[in-house]
Chains A and B, each alone.
Chain A
């Protein structure tokens, strides 16, 4: 009996085991459920983004109405002057979005731990309170949502266990293992061919589920490469578990011992190692309560204002050289207001310095976690799936950097226009809108 015959013969074994078929059906159902959860999140975030974009248009139309009527400010806020760049930009609402990737259908990752829309103003920061996650039940977040990556990472090894636990020892307990060895020749090859059958079967099922998921969020329209990458990592993950279980089967003596060892290894990789790493990281790097940033937030204005005006001016010129020779810089009276409006630029620089420290600290935590991946494969694969579905910590860090870039751009344009004494009209306001959207 050659390997191909053994491989094909295993199909007969499989279809005569209702328990195994039931387990596979259960896995498929869980996979479909997980994919729908991912697709729902994708749809929910897209809908929310559309609603916010609509709200922004309505708010901007209100401001445009003032320009159309030639009014400088709303009646109840006479101190506002919409022809002044500071107030024009202050009143211009724009948002930065973390648009969900269609591949979120495969892994919701850390998407529910962060906000995905952020209003940008000259006072904003990527760590504002409105960066909080969507309103949700913390107990649900703690339990986690059953998504496709959960099904692959935690249930696929269990399904493999159910499919493989009685291979070889089942025959041994019935007493016809020697007969099989006589028929097949090499015993390891026989075992490998049988295990390979289930490996191929599970990969085909996972691939079919991947395709189903792709249809839910139209993954192929923009993320076809990601689709195949996820398929590749699932294959690697499956091979990892096949290898472990194959080694257990090779040395197996009884069915119960098999189950005990397989469950034991699964518990160690899925629970004990990731939990131990998590505990270790929390001890090494406790949760940051952001004290340094809070200090800067509250005291930066006072700190800047405590300096002589000439020092503030020099700091502003160094930060934005374009204003040094602007018309207002020669006019001491008008310069006072321009300096006041520009204070946010200097405050933002102090804030950025404190944010850099936070980013470094978080990076150190991530490096610590990353250094565990060689013995912590479950976390490695989880983060791999999160990266591919753009729901990894780093994707949200990039989103934060995008927010910071927009804040910087907004402040710079505001300061330059203030110092150049630009009068904002409807056209300039619309220009601002276009610039800040990018």
Chain B
């Protein structure tokens, strides 16, 4: 078998057209890699400038009332990771700036897509675009010509007469084209590693390895099917158009249709409905029978009892700060309920979409690709959650200062000094570890392995009775 693979490679390297096309692909892949990397680094610079600028402004506050500072707020920017230079995922669609302030959890805004007219339906010239859409087409043509040329020249018959088993021949041809695809992948990831050698840690390495694995499996599926169609159908044109038709169905139709369908199966509320429900829960109480003024009165009683005084003016602390923090905590519960529901619906949508991989391995590839490159919705939600957790610490710090910093109830003119503002921690995004998200992609990997097995079986058993002339 190894001999056949070597012969195939020799043939590929001697065919000038194939060699020229392959070299062009390598060139475009390298360009996409360098540009993707350069753009990510440039965007990271913009991010760092913005982050430092905002922090400097915060630390420059000489004196301010802590509650005033909660309204002044701060901003969290969505960082660009180096991994996303390979697959940008949802990053061009989602916003980049999130205002962090008291009383309210804001939405992330200012996406790249909203700042310009439409350009590319399939995203930027990133490696993932070429590896997902273009390289499979090249592999289809290579695999197709590997079989049809042997059939047309009559060499296939000669090889069988010389003692080669048809299934062995087919498998060897499949593997020779597959190794070409894997070679392209290795080249991309190898160059990526060289470009970012200083930033590669075990997490990045593991993600890159699984990225490589998922693409390798997909390439085997697409090449195997092409070879199978080429051997199964006598008419070469029908074989080629069938596999191209399947490619169109898998990459253009099904992901689109399925994603729209899952949003109908698991509907999300409209923004207006969602905000109205949140507002209602906050003012009327989560159970609908505990309005905010009633909650405030009960809270006041509790505080007075705790400090063993009769009126707010006798309190040694600032009651306003306590009320605001209690209101924040209630608001947090409301947020947890509603955003929890939202995340649940999004998770259901994701699961249903992943099951689409039973029909279409391209869906599994897309999921693993952007998931492993930390640019899917799961990682986006993780970012939002980290910002919300930070917001809670940030606001509590300010409310505690208002309460226990030395001011009295009703004294809104009281101000905290610069040292306090400098001591308030800045938002620091912690990249999500692979181990915490990997279980979400196991189904995709399972389906890719499932498809690989099915295609392998088709190749071994389905081509036994092929006509070799």
Q: Report A's interface with B, CB cutoff 8 A.
A: 19, 30, 33, 37, 44, 48, 51-52, 55, 76, 109-110, 113-115, 117, 127, 129-146, 150, 153-155, 158, 162, 165-166, 255-256, 259-260, 263, 267, 270-272, 274-279, 281-283, 286-291, 294-295, 298-299, 362, 365-366, 369-370, 379, 382-383, 386, 392-394, 396
Contact = CB atoms under 8 A, between A and B. Distances in A.
Contacts of B129: 271, 275
A76 B134 contact: no
Contacts of B126: 275, 279
A294 B75 contact: yes
Given A134-B270, A286-B42, A294-B75, A274 B120 contact: yes
B116 A393 contact: yes
Given A276-B125, A278-B119, A291-B53, A143 B35 contact: no
Given A48-B270, A267-B137, A289-B50, A162 B119 contact: no
Given A139-B90, A146-B256, A369-B119, A298 B124 contact: no
B256 A110 contact: no
B34 to A, nearest CB: 10
A117, A143, A271, A386: which has the most chain B beta carbons within 10 Å? Answer: A143
B134 A256 contact: no
B272 A142 contact: no
B308 to A, nearest CB: 29
Contact of B120 (A51, A117, A140, A278): A278
A369 B116 contact: yes
Nearest to A47: B270
B349 interface: yes
B117 A366 contact: yes
A290 B28 CA distance: 33
B435 interface: no
B168 interface: no
B53 A362 contact: no
29 contacts: A44-B270, A51-B272, A52-B272, A130-B107, A132-B95, A132-B109, A137-B268, A139-B90, A139-B259, A140-B262, A142-B92, A256-B145, A270-B121, A271-B134, A272-B125, A275-B123, A279-B39, A283-B35, A287-B111, A289-B46, A289-B47, A294-B75, A295-B53, A295-B57, A298-B73, A379-B119, A386-B118, A392-B117, A392-B118
A136 to B, nearest CB: 6
B96 A289 contact: yes
Given A287-B43, A289-B96, A113 B272 contact: no
B257 interface: yes
Contact of A256 (B47, B111, B148): B148
Nearest to B49: A291
A198 to B, nearest CB: 16
Interface size class of B (residues with CB under 8 A): 35 or more
A138 B90 contact: yes
A110 B118 contact: yes
A76 B293 contact: yes
A394 B101 CA distance: 31
Contact of B99 (A129, A272, A279): A129
B166 interface: no
A286 B43 contact: yes
Contacts of B269: 135
Contact of A132 (B39, B107, B122, B259): B107
B113 interface: yes
Given A256-B148, A259-B240, A278-B124, 12 more contacts: A132-B109, A150-B121, A279-B35, A279-B126, A283-B39, A287-B96, A294-B97, A298-B73, A366-B117, A379-B119, A383-B118, A393-B117
Given A132-B107, A279-B124, A286 B119 contact: no
Pairs of residues from A and B, 3 with the lowest C-beta to C-beta distance, nearest first? A274-B120, A138-B90, A275-B125
A289 B46 CA distance: 8
A162 B249 CA distance: 14
Contact of A142 (B75, B93, B118, B262): B93
B328 interface: no
A135 B106 contact: no
B404 interface: no
Contact of A19 (B46, B241, B253): B241
Contacts of B50: 289, 291
Contacts of A271: 120, 122, 129, 133-134
Nearest to B113: A113
Contacts, number: 226
B16 interface: no
B109 A382 contact: no
Contacts of B36: 279
A260 B141 contact: yes
B42 A146 contact: no
Interface in B336-385: 342, 346, 349-350, 353, 370, 376-377, 380
Nearest to B378: A139
B299 interface: no
B253 A146 contact: yes
Contacts of A52: 272
B255 interface: yes
Contacts of A295: 53, 57
Contacts of B134: 267, 271-272
B311 interface: no
B54 interface: yes
A289 B112 CA distance: 9
A289 B118 contact: no
A139 B252 contact: no
Nearest to A51: B272
A288 B46 CA distance: 8
Contacts of A392: 117-118
B136 to A, nearest CB: 11
Contacts of A386: 117-118
A162 B106 CA distance: 49
Nearest to A137: B349
A397 to B, nearest CB: 10
Interface in B252-310: 252-253, 255-257, 259-260, 262-263, 268-272, 274, 276, 293
A437 B440 CA distance: 48
Contacts of A362: 115-116
B176 interface: no
A287 B134 CA distance: 27
Given A139-B90, A298-B72, A382-B121, A132 B43 contact: no
A154 B274 contact: no
B124 A143 contact: no
B110 A287 contact: yes
A145 B260 contact: yes
Given A113-B93, A275-B120, A140 B263 contact: yes
B146 to A, nearest CB: 13
A154 B252 contact: yes
A256 B274 CA distance: 54
B38 A275 contact: no
A366 B119 CA distance: 9
Contacts of B49: 291
Contacts of A145: 256, 260
A272 B133 CA distance: 10
